[in-house]
Amino acid sequence: MSWDSLGKGGRWAVGLLLAVALLLAGAVAAGSVAAAELEEVVARGELIWAADQEGGGPHVFLDPKNPSQLTGFEVELAELLAAELGVKARFQQGQWDRLPLLLGRTADCVINGIELTPGRQRDYRCSRPYFAYALQLVARRDAPLTSFERLESLGPHGRWRVGVLTGSAAEILMRGRAGLEVDVVGYDGTVDCLEQVTTGVLDATVLDDCIASFYADRFPRLRAVDRPQAGGFYTILTPPDTPHLSAKIDEALGRLLTDGRLKQLYDSWDLAGRQQVLLLRDADEIPPAPRDSWGHLLRSALPLLLSAAGMTVLLSAASFPLAILIGLAVAIGRLYGPPLLRPLLAGYVEVLRGTPLMLQLYALFFLLPKIGLALPALAAAIIGLALNYSAYESEIYRAGLKAVPGGQFEAALALGMTKWQALRHVIVPQAVRIVMPPVTSDFIALFKDTSVCSAITVIELTKRYSVLALSTGRIVELAVVTALLYLAMSWPMALVSRWLERRLERTGAARQP
């Protein structure tokens, strides 16, 4: 069987399978890379610690008075620890829910409010606790949410919408507790949650008590509701194969705890140092969780992955036709519309093309509610994708319209058609045929770009995979399942694009002698 005999769809599939194989090989290779052990850290003279500065205060954040300066109690803790190891501390930025993926690659350890859980005990080396947290419910002062128990019955608008940091203990608590009438929405940052509670998109958020009190002044319309719920401890993560580094970090934490420096640090951040020290001293050991069997993992993960794949399909199928319609309208407006409209449309295209999709989604979802226009996340995602891609589509259609020979327009006008009749019946049908190949390839691009929507709480396949992989520790196995799901979706798309191309050849593109 030759390469050509495979046909377009076949070659596509082979390409995808190759990509999956490469990904697997990469994952296996990554697993075998030795993590930076203690000797290497010492030789390097730097302890590289990972955190997310977007995660906010009081952990790690940019100093509002000096925005180039990173500050937070964990920044100071990292410096103390590094000094104990006889090295300097170096910060490595990462997205909070994916920080553990940096371990052994670009970071020696993660210090960023990582809760000590049985799952993490199983998948990483966890240091002894360095901070005790409790989970606090926060709502608007004027909201009818007066106690945690109130979440057990429906609110004035049905189920309560509660935001949590994706992958956090708050998410585990809210998703795991039985009897709550709550829709849990995962965010990438706790400050985003607080913003969305203020604007009314969310009814409440659950976050670590230290964060709630840190931001209390910045969000005066919010208040802590009820006593803190469940709590636990923060731990420093190191890779599984670094026993020496992890032991050294435990020793150092022990010294900081007993000689009063940790208390001093927490007191300076208004974090009740004495209470912290007492809680940390008496913390119980948490045993690691058993690893799920492969069958059990599939049974629990597959339905979640499938519904996330459904979301990926929904996002692409709903946004792309909109993008095409808007793009075509913009292209026609720029070429044939009133002269006053043309620079406005050109501006529309340049703004949408010149700014990142992520930023546009962010604006739609987080900024519009500030002017009283709260869009549901799914609507914001579809509109955002449609607007962003409409700019690219309009440029493709503009090229397509210009590629139709000028004699066509003249012939239509000479018959007595209006400008719009000529466009509708003569010019646009030909332009659509000309641009079919680039438009199809744009659809595939959009299909993949749907993963950006996870930034505004829409859980599609890539996001669902990353959450599941981190919570179960089955990173490679779930990657295979996810890749197969993507293949199952892109395969029919390849078939459709092939069918369209064949149809295009039969009907003939605009060719004039």
Partner 1 sequence: MITVESVAAFRAGVRVLEDVSLNVPAGTVTTLVGPSGSGKSTLLRCLNGLETLAAGSVEIAGHRLTAGPQSPRRLELLRRDVGMVFQQFNLFPHLSVLDNVALPPRVIRQMPAAEARAQAQTLLERVGLAHLADVRPTALSGGQQQRVAIARSLAMEPRVMLFDEPTSALDPAMSGEVLEVILGLARAGQTMVVVTHDHSFARRVATQVAELVAGRVVRQGTAAEVL
State the residues that interact with partner 1 by CB under 8 A.
405, 407-408, 410-419, 421, 425-426, 429-430, 433, 507-513
Residue of 500, 338, 483 lying closest to 9 (CA atoms): 500
Residue of 132, 130, 162, 168 lying closest to 52 (CA atoms): 168
Q: How far is 496 from 393, CA to CA, in rounded Å?
A: 19
Q: Please, what is the minimum distance in Å from the beta carbon of residue 420 to partner 1?
A: 10
Given the complex with partner 1, which of 103 and 426 has the nearer CB atom? 426
Task: Give the number of other CB atoms < 10 A from CB of residue 476.
Answer: 14
Q: How far is 146 from 154, CA to CA, in rounded Å?
A: 13
Q: Please, what is the minimum distance in Å from the beta carbon of residue 416 to partner 1?
A: 4
Amino acid at 155: G
Given the complex with partner 1, which of 20 and 417 has the nearer CB atom? 417
Please report the DSSP string for 304-317 in residue order.
HHHHHHHHHHHHHH
Residue of 250, 206, 198 lying closest to 225 (CA atoms): 206
Task: Name the token pair of 290.
Answer: 């058993």
Given the complex with partner 1, which of 359 and 509 has the nearer CB atom? 509
Given the complex with partner 1, which of 200 and 407 has the nearer CB atom? 407
Distances (CA, A) of 34 to 50, 104, 283: 18, 7, 31
Given the complex with partner 1, which of 444 and 510 has the nearer CB atom? 510
Q: Please, what is the minimum distance in Å from the beta carbon of residue 404 to partner 1?
A: 9
Task: Name the token pair of 361.
Answer: 């989604």
Q: Please, what is the minimum distance in Å from the beta carbon of residue 422 to partner 1?
A: 9
Q: Please, what is the minimum distance in Å from the beta carbon of residue 443 to partner 1?
A: 22
183-186 own/partner pairs: CB under 8 Å, 24+ apart: 183/159, 185/161, 185/377, 185/457, 186/457, 186/459, 186/467
Given the complex with partner 1, which of 271 and 331 has the nearer CB atom? 331
Q: Please, what is the minimum distance in Å from the beta carbon of residue 336 to partner 1?
A: 12
Given the complex with partner 1, which of 153 and 418 has the nearer CB atom? 418
Task: Give the number of other CB atoms < 10 A from CB of residue 255.
Answer: 14
Q: Please, what is the minimum distance in Å from the beta carbon of residue 338 to partner 1?
A: 13
